[in-house]
Amino acid sequence: MLNIALFGPPGAGKGTQSEFLIKKYNLFYISTGDLLRNELANKTKLGLDAEHIIASGGLVSDEIIVQIIENTITENPNANGFLFDGFPRTNIQAYILEGLMIKLNTSLNRLISIKLDEEISVQRLLNRGITSGRSDDNETVVRTRLREYTEKTLPVLQFYKDKGVYLEVDGSQEIGKVTSDIDDIIQSELSKSLFNIVLFGSPGSGRSTQGKAIAKAFGLEYVSTGEMLKEELKNDPEVTLKYLEIIERGEFVPDEVVVQLIEKKLAKTKNAKGFLFKGFPRNLVQSYILDGLLKKHGSSVSQCIELDVPVLEVIRRIDERSHSTADVSYYTTTSKIVKRLQIYENKTIPVIEKYNQLHEVIKVNGVGTLEEVFQRLSFEIQNGIKNMR
């Protein structure tokens, strides 16, 4: 999720730059003024509370404003992020936003300040007044607005400077250059974002081989619940005795065990560009667990890919594997193979359907040489990374 606060004095061109950011990065625009007017128009409870305050000549409290913002964020879960225009306006609101971001398991990535000399601001607004006919675009009013902006904004900017998320651009440049400078900041920020892939595919589709190759090629951490569990079984005899029988039957160990392993993997992995999940999530419950785990770490699923291999080819591959020396106990008998495929059909296909609604699961032909399939996967992943940027 990309959360940006855009600041700038009157005349800095925030409106133009906001439109660019919203369109290019699919951000949800948050202007407290617009949100408040919407609440008033719809006569919501918060809107009615604010209306009573305004009618009595008072200022709408931070308590009402923050509730409106929280509702807006939670009601738009599919947004790539949020663009805050002119909020927070005070030091207190900066602390409020910080607490709200923590509550929602996210954070403000950057505060971008469009810096503009006062005299340039005044001239721009006076020129605008000539064409717009706005009565507030006269020099006295303009200078008062600039003074209020400076006095109220300086503490907020210092707050974010201290946090290390403040950056500024020169607003006196031509519009295209200001846009380019802002875009460079966003691109730099996005380069820090984790790119997380969920790789689906039935048993025998080649997920393990391709997953490891893709993870290595793109600098991702390979997360295989099966391999992590095997390692756990080696290190803990009690766990071995408890779950060996389940594994031998070709069934899956309880979610709480798998979740602990993944949580541990996410916590200890450093400097990875993202994660490639193979074998998880296997069911709908696990899909919600994965979303929660990633959100806890300030991330989310970036791309879902399904290796598409015809059933007869899958059976041929599994049969061939069952005669090899590979240590895969659930491929040793026909009944276990069939059961494994049935579990995938009944449990995992609904997960793919869920992710297809949210992320659009990309089907990749899994038939061919290892290199051919790898190239197909790489093509889709490169496009995914490009679109994320």
207 known ligand binder: no
77 known ligand binder: no
* 301 touches 359 (CB < 8 A): yes
User: What are the backbone angles phi and psi of residue 30, rounded to the nearest 5°?
Assistant: -120, 105
Closest CA to 278 of 343, 213, 218: 213
Residue listed under structure tokens 């059961």: 339
Q: Token pair for residue 286? A: 């696990």
86 known ligand binder: yes
Amino acid at 346: N
143 known ligand binder: no
58 known ligand binder: yes
Closest CA to 191 of 383, 2, 381, 329: 2
The residue length of the chain stands at: 389
253 known ligand binder: yes
User: What are the backbone angles phi and psi of residue 188, rounded to the nearest 5°?
Assistant: -65, -40
CA torsion sign for 182, 184, 190, 192 is: negative
Neighbouring residues of 49: CB distance < 8 A, sequence distance ≥ 6: 64
357 known ligand binder: no
13 known ligand binder: yes
Neighbouring residues of 167: CB distance < 8 A, sequence distance ≥ 6: 110, 111, 112, 113, 185
226 known ligand binder: no
366 known ligand binder: no
292 known ligand binder: no
321 known ligand binder: yes
173 known ligand binder: yes
273 known ligand binder: no
254 known ligand binder: no
282 known ligand binder: yes
89 known ligand binder: yes
159 known ligand binder: no
7 known ligand binder: no
251 known ligand binder: yes
Binding residue positions for AMP: 32, 37, 58-60, 86-89, 93, 134, 145, 225, 251-253, 279-282, 286, 340
Binding residue positions for ATP: 11-16, 128, 173, 321, 368
Binding residue positions: 11-16, 32, 37, 58-60, 86-89, 93, 128, 134, 145, 173, 225, 251-253, 279-282, 286, 321, 340, 368
